Amino acid sequence: MKQNKETNKKGTNIMGNYFNPVKIKIDTIDVIEDILSTLHSQPRKILLLHRGGDFSESDAGQGLFKSLGDFEVKPLEVNISNPDVEDLFHFYKQIESFDYQCIVGIGGGSVLDLSKSLAAIKGMEIDSISTLRSVIKQKLYIKNKKFVPWIGIPTTSGTGSEVTCWATIWDRANGVKMSVDSEHLYAHTAIVDPALTTSLPKRLTASTALDALCHATEAYWSKSSNEISRIYSLEAIKRIVKNFEKVLNQPNDILLRKEIALGSLYAGLAFSNTRTTACHSISYPLTLELGMVHGIAASITLAKVMEINFDSIIENDKLLDAFGVSSCSEIQELIEHFHEQSGFSSKLRDYGANEEIIETITSKAFTKGRMDNNPVALTKEDVVQILRSIY
Ligand SMILES: [Fe+2]
């Protein structure tokens, strides 16, 4: 592995730019009426993406439909996770004739990422999946003048999508992950209502919280980390670590849910400006090849990557303090404990990995903008070693 010169000089990155234009309301979802009234586009038609299932009958669903009573609303059920370019095309065709002026997305990361993507490509002429693939790859949506504002209402605490300007769209036919990514695509407003997360099942509570923990930690050591983002990172880590087990055992405790929701929000605010690094980069092929849940795929390498990065991390003592530990190996133990508490294994063999798959994962682990954002430049040998160490 090569040390990165820019960030290896600890303390040199004491300045930095921070930008996030999302209006944040930590409130109940009925504030949406006020938010819509302040939109310049004065929307009449609203596209509402939600997670499907019993959403329409739930308190949240009923409340939201009531608050949107004065608008023409087209609900769109998103009953998939980890949206693929084919899914995005399918949804795009379903709503093409509905001339919406705003999108409201209420759900987990997949719902929010699709909301953001549909906002980006609104009104573009896209007649096939391959055209859509080109629109995403060539970032043609950046020049789209017809994009519409969107409002994000997360119902999981982890994705951070409500405060970031990119969305993950998978391209399974080509075995890669793509991004819809532009500063236009920040949500107009994020409504963070912790009450929406009390019905989350245990494994989803855990995996999304672990995703947020990785966002915060990777943001802390990212090449683009700065004075402001690091404060959000540390606050996020403290809240998530302190309340992780408690919220698994007391899922209906609204104060615990609020702590995790704030942890996720702060993590989002941190990595909205820094992006993620090696752990997320390695997680994408772990998900593609082994079907691992995103938050587990990201957290399974967190301590190992931290060990490699450790000497390049600015104020690394503060990072350990936030986790409440004194070494990277204690973080490995902590993450393994969190996995165990939530019913996940910390070993790749339990997800069907073998030597050949480790090779494949390694070859796909170098995502542009993520792996090269790690403070230490990892080699293929480093990645193989990391993966073998958690086999
Ligand atoms: Fe993530």
The pLDDT tens digits of the residues spanning 82-134 come to 999 999 999 999 999 999 999 999 999 999 999 999 999 999 999 999 999 99
Domain ranges of the chain: 28-192, 199-389
CB atoms within 10 A of CB 90: 13
Residue 8 in this model has a pLDDT that exceeds 70: no
**pLDDT tens string 157-178:** 999 999 999 999 999 999 888 9
CA of residue 172 to ligand 1 center, whole Å: 18
Burial of 21 (0-12, 13-18, 19+ CB in 10 A): exposed
Q: How far apart are CA 300 and CA 286, in angstroms?
A: 10
Domain 28-192 has CATH 3.40.50.1970: yes
pLDDT digits (tens, 9 = 90+) for 173-196: 998 889 999 999 999 999 999 999
Residue 194 to residue 155: CA distance in whole angstroms: 8
Between the CA of 276 and the centroid of ligand 1 the distance, in Å, is 8
CATH class in words for 199-389: mainly alpha
Contact 3, 313 (CB under 8 A): no
Q: How far is residue 302's CA from residue 31's CA, in Å, rounded to a whole number?
A: 37
pLDDT band (50, 70, 90) for residue 15: low
| Of 167, 155, 10, residue with least CA distance to 87 | 167
What is the whole-number distance in angstroms between the Cα of residue 89 and the centre of ligand 1? 23
- Distance, CA 141 to ligand 1 centroid (Å)? 23
The pLDDT value given to residue 7:
46
What protein residues have CB closer than 5 angstroms to ion ligand 1? 211
pLDDT digits (tens, 9 = 90+) for 17-49: 899 999 999 999 999 999 999 898 789 999 999
pTM: 0.93
In the reported structure, the alpha carbon of residue 212 is separated from the centroid of ligand 1 by a whole-number distance in angstroms of 7
User: How much distance in Å is there from the Cα of 151 to the middle of ligand 1?
Assistant: 20
